[in-house]
Structure 1
Amino acid sequence: MPLKHWATQNEAPELSVVRTVRDAVVQDWYLADDPALLRVVWPTGDILSSDAGAAARLDPPVPWVLQVGPGLGVFGPELGLYGPDGREIQGAGWRDYAEVMGGVADYWPGGLRDPEVMQAWEPGDPQPIVPPDPALDTAPLLRLAAMLDPETPATRTLLNLARNVQYKR
């Protein structure tokens, strides 16, 4: 059944368990107004290497698996909804997902899906700080800043971005 036909939840769902599978973090949610369990898959690496079917086969069995895609569309992040057999079902939109989640759905951008941070996070916690990726090359940012007038907002923005990427802990 498409997500847009699910009942809107009056209360926020309860996060049951968070675990990692190959290239993904998996969250199991108990929906407040429905005893069903919704499994949400957050790919941490290449979207093509994460497997919603493998998440569907985890215990306990769940009727639905929602996989967050890599892109952002006009109506929010891409979503794929899968049935218990691992087949994709059409009709998954971020707004529908938010309504199923009680009106607000937390979003983990692709570059901030750190499995350790995601496993430690609880609903209602403040926004977590994700350590920077030391492999990120800031040289293009610094080269572009060097080509611009040092007093422009663009230069200050590029330098600040490079500084934050390299040193923010």
Structure 2
Amino acid sequence: MPTRSSLAQFMGLLGWLAVVFVAAAAGAVASMDSSTFYAQLVRPAWAPPASAFGPVWSVLYLLMGVAAWLVWRAHERGPRRAALALFLVQLAANALWTWLFFAWRLGALAFAEVLVLWVLIAITAALFWRVRRVAAVLLLPYLAWVTLACALTGSVWRNNPGLL
């Protein structure tokens, strides 16, 4: 595979960042009134404050975009394509969770979906590892945060039967 120019590399980075931030925007639309709803919920003592979610997700989306770009840049065409295809699937699942939980208030479905999301992220990280190890490492904070999200979604769903 021929080496891409610096401009192509930069445009590729911008493209992957755009992809992840479009997914973030799709989720943000669903969570426009999330702070009011989140404040009404019975949450465990270990739940992060509502103000933590925006900054954390911004950093995670940035890391995801860079990770995808690193895989995109790799020379291994076969593994790269599969890894990036699964990356896009998990990104769509990520956006879907926000709609299930905040917009549609389907707690059981949101909990099941976040578990599926966790598996998709883990497999994506494993595929990224085969292509560019640093890209897989960049997904680890995302996997850790979604691990917390799994526990939090399950807890909040069980503790708020009238709202979710």
Q: Same fold (TM over 0.5)?
A: no
Larger relative helix fraction: 2
TM-score, scaled relative to structure 2: 0.21
Larger relative strand fraction: 1
Greater relative contact order: 1 or 2 (C-alpha under 8 angstroms, separation 6 or more)?
2
TM-score, scaled relative to structure 1: 0.21
Larger radius of gyration: 1
